[in-house]
Structure 1
Amino acid sequence: MSTINYSEKIPNNVNLGEDRTLQRALEGWQPNFINWWDDVGPDGSTNYEVYLRTAVSVDPQGWAQFGHVKMRDYRWGIFLNPGDANREIHFGDHKGEKAWQDVPGEHRANLRRIIVTQGDTEPASVEQQRHLGLTAPSMYDLRNLFQINVEEGRHLWAMVYLLHKHFGRDGREEAEALLQRTSGDENNPRILGAFNEKTPDWLAFFMFTYFTDRDGKFQLSALAESAFDPLARTTKFMLTEEAHHMFVGESGVSRVLQRTAQVMNELKTDDPQKVRAAGAIDLGTIQRYLNFHYSVTIDLFGADQSSNAATFYSSGLKGRYEEGKRTDDHVLKGQTYKVLEVKDGQLLEKDVPMLNALNEVLRDDFIKDSVAGVGRWNKVLEKAGIPTRLTVPHKAFNRQIGALAGIKMSPEGRVVNEAEWAAKKSEWLPTPEDFAFVASLMGRVVDPGKFAGWIAPPVMGINRQPVDFEYVRFG
């Protein structure tokens, strides 16, 4: 069992104490991290004691310990999955060679860029979720928000460790810059578009954690294949935490649907205005939020054809999702993949070299996974006897990146003209009125066991605790 030494200032399982220079550098970065947390972390939460899980080992059997802790005192640290001295690179041009423990000079710039981009998403989501605690629908949900926040903070630590250890002065400067960019900032925004969007309410938060954290799952899974072994081991451990974030999103939307269906059945109506008047979120609004978060998230995978994606794969820096389960040659030269384009107002498929289409391969894997979860949401409606079903929009809908950027497309996948887009946009994407209505429901409910009127309670509490357990002590 790979345990973690909590007596050290920075808990870790990477023998940090044996590298005094690195330890001092990270201890120098730590106060800046805490200042960042105080400035833009969860609003007003400084004195709260939260029932959090903390990593105590990196084996799947026993890595989590639960207890009340002040978030500012959370034991952020550096945890890598156990290594395998015989690990080989299993895709790309270096297939069959020994995995790298250090950064090869020729791949230095690309690896740094990959690590910085991943690292930048982690603090961004904490900043996006900063004010949500002030409108929590329950103490249970407040605790889940805070658990996600501290884990995103730890994921930032994971990337900063790699930058400090393997990239010298450049890495140290990049680590500082990760705390200087701010989500949505006009002058110094976060690197990726979705991480500059607002998360104004809890329905947006649940959609974000369902869809955008799922992008995290697929990106981290692709990096967990990397020939650069420290990156692969780091991201493998991060995936154990990412699963909880997606659970919060999936179960959150399920509970919203459950409550909406209950109100629809009580009132015997599907009239959105009557559902809203009863204090629940109508299904049309939920569908529009889904359309928005899904389309913004699939843009995160990048352009459908990318020479960078080809380089990252051939160099061994970033594999595919579940690379080891695929039955091709793991080199992909001469293979093709279908991508979409619009020609003469028609949506068409064309074959392109697979190496250049690896962003699209990952996006399609994500879409398959996302659709399965939306199917589970529909089971909630089916069980309640509600005939409406949620749907995932076409992957060309509302895209801002790649060949499909700016194409006007209906959620069903029909190319439309500017006039129809303008007329129908308010049926397809959330409107200012939708945001204002959802915001009007966001009153804070934090008495143990009490829940806001727009969401159903969960089936069970956290770590076998009752639903009405005191998950947050307000101090």
Structure 2
Amino acid sequence: MSTINYSEKIPNNVNLGEDRTLQRALEGWQPNFINWWDDVGPEGSTNHDVYLRTAVSVDPQGWAQFGHVKMRDYRWGIFLNPGDANREIHFGDHKGEKAWQDVPGEHRANLRRIIVTQGDTEPASVEQQRHLGLTAPSMYDLRNLFQINVEEGRHLWAMVYLLQKHFGRDGREEADALLQRTSGDENNPRILGAFNERTPDWLAFFMFTYFTDRDGKFQLSALAESAFDPLARTTKFMLTEEAHHMFVGESGVSRVIARTAQVMNELKTDDAQKIRAAGCIDLGTIQRYLNFHYSVTIDLFGADQSSNAAIFYSSGLKGRYEEGKRTDDHILKGQTYKVLEVKDGQLVEKDVPMLNALNEVLRDDFIKDSVAGVGRWNKVLEKAGIPTRLVVPHKAFNRQIGALAGIKMSPEGRVVNEVEWAAKRDEWLPSSEDFAFVASLMGRVVEPGKFAGWISPPVMGINRQPVDFEYVRFG
């Protein structure tokens, strides 16, 4: 089961040829996917040969090979981690029972909703990033963008396979709808708010892949615990690919900071206008982009109290991050968790049933992970002798979902009035001037080994290739 068959029209390791009905349905969906890719996938990339990695097995020791592939000819397929016939459900009301190979009727609607919501994020990010190739700061970065794009496309295939195999006509209709919604479309937008935001420039792209793909890591990790075994096995393999997306974000922001710090030291100034005049992104702008992408991403975890979260956990559909490492009873009835609310103009904590607070539990796990990465960015500043530090804003800042939605809050976590919010907004979140300035830096640099002036080169190339390797061959 671990080797992937590339001789078939749809590469897979799920014995697709043994289910002719499913195979025909997926082969019928495939041209629609290619049309979607041509319409709203990476702009102007059709004839590029890109140095991409392609999954050849699901064995962690040797799961991918690298080589130049035409973007449109990339072999998207269906890959599941190996199954375990003895796997048991290890949380919720079904704890100790055998994991499900088929969808139980009573959980059908909720499972479909979970899979569709996850599936909807994958093509959305491709749509959000489709213009970025036209302003790439280097050939190395262009290749990384394209790698992320093809893998998000494959993650869409992963969810479409589950829908078509396990949900009959409903699943086929949902699979079609995944290609009909479009990020930011007024009439038919993507399901989740963050996936309708624009990704206008490469600093936004790096922040998106650091924060929003990290949300993907935590959501997929929670689904990898699922009692529905095909979903668990699918998401475990998706996590292998997701790690690269977060690396691109973390290292990308780190390289922007490194270049800014270098210029600050050369000019012996922390004056934002002088740094901008030298063609670099000042630390204040980087902080505002961070504030925006972080706050938009933590909304993706949903309301801090949610009956759906309780149902998904108790019924075994979605666990917690690293469920198996937790030492409680994995049923959680009678346990509590602290969430925030505003009372008399102040933020206060209150205890709520933990089952209803599982979105908040996952959000807090994400926050801890995100803060660690921001600490690594600060090490770059520390090493350069720059005293400024980037900080993650308070989790109540700029929230649009849950009990904290619409509350005016400073990044430090102080409740403010409308007047102060209006006065300080452009200090806390990117302004139109910030976007215009960053956009002005976005000239395309694609000569091997050359980099735009606002970003440092990476420490090493991809797959042990030199930094000046020809990662993209333009047709």
2: distance between equivalents of 1:113 and 1:5? 30
Q: Deviations over 1:16-73 (max 9, x none)?
A: 0000000000000000000000000000000000000000000100101000001111
Q: Deviations over 1:186-232 (max 9, x none)?
A: 00000000000000000000000000000000000000000000000
Q: Which runs of 4+ in 1 moved over 6 A?
A: none
Q: Deviations over 1:264-315 (max 9, x none)?
A: 0000000000000000000000000000000000000000000000000000
2: distance between equivalents of 1:340 and 1:102? 38
1: distance between equivalents of 2:135 and 2:347? 42
* 1:467 matches 2:467: yes
Q: Deviations over 1:408-433 (max 9, x none)?
A: 00000000011100100010000000
Q: Deviations over 1:340-375 (max 9, x none)?
A: 000010100000000000000000000000000000
2: distance between equivalents of 1:20 and 1:167? 16
Residues 7-406 of structure 1 mapped to structure 2, 5 A cutoff: 7-406=7-406
Match of 2:433 in 1: 433
1: distance between equivalents of 2:346 and 2:439? 39
1: distance between equivalents of 2:387 and 2:343? 37
SS at 1:339 equivalent: strand
Structure 1: which 5+ residue stretches go unaligned?
Answer: none
2: distance between equivalents of 1:468 and 1:300? 37
2: distance between equivalents of 1:308 and 1:245? 29
2: distance between equivalents of 1:71 and 1:123? 15
Give 1:404 shift. 0.1
SS at 2:178 equivalent: helix
2: distance between equivalents of 1:2 and 1:78? 12
2: distance between equivalents of 1:270 and 1:346? 35
Match of 2:422 in 1: 422
2: distance between equivalents of 1:426 and 1:186? 26
2: distance between equivalents of 1:120 and 1:459? 34
SS at 1:227 equivalent: coil
1: distance between equivalents of 2:45 and 2:248? 20
SS at 2:5 equivalent: coil
Q: Deviations over 1:316-354 (max 9, x none)?
A: 000000000000000000000000000010100000000
2: distance between equivalents of 1:454 and 1:60? 36
Q: Deviations over 1:146-198 (max 9, x none)?
A: 00000000000000000000000000000000000000000000000000000
Give 1:97 shift. 0.1
SS at 1:179 equivalent: coil
1: distance between equivalents of 2:181 and 2:420? 38
2: distance between equivalents of 1:197 and 1:2? 37
TM-score by length of 2: 1.00
SS at 1:446 equivalent: coil
2: distance between equivalents of 1:395 and 1:289? 15
1: distance between equivalents of 2:59 and 2:399? 40
2: distance between equivalents of 1:244 and 1:84? 27
2: distance between equivalents of 1:262 and 1:53? 33
2: distance between equivalents of 1:431 and 1:422? 12
Structure 2: which 5+ residue stretches go unaligned?
Answer: none
2: distance between equivalents of 1:426 and 1:124? 28
SS at 2:68 equivalent: strand
Give 1:127 shift. 0.0
1: distance between equivalents of 2:313 and 2:374? 30
Give 1:2 shift. 1.2
1: distance between equivalents of 2:255 and 2:215? 22
2: distance between equivalents of 1:3 and 1:91? 31
Identity of aligned residues (%): 95
1: distance between equivalents of 2:215 and 2:374? 15
SS at 1:180 equivalent: coil
2: distance between equivalents of 1:126 and 1:2? 28
2: distance between equivalents of 1:71 and 1:85? 37
2: distance between equivalents of 1:118 and 1:280? 36
SS at 1:10 equivalent: coil
2: distance between equivalents of 1:187 and 1:431? 27
2: distance between equivalents of 1:448 and 1:124? 30
1: distance between equivalents of 2:2 and 2:192? 34
2: distance between equivalents of 1:44 and 1:241? 24
SS at 1:127 equivalent: helix
SS at 1:439 equivalent: helix
2: distance between equivalents of 1:235 and 1:397? 31
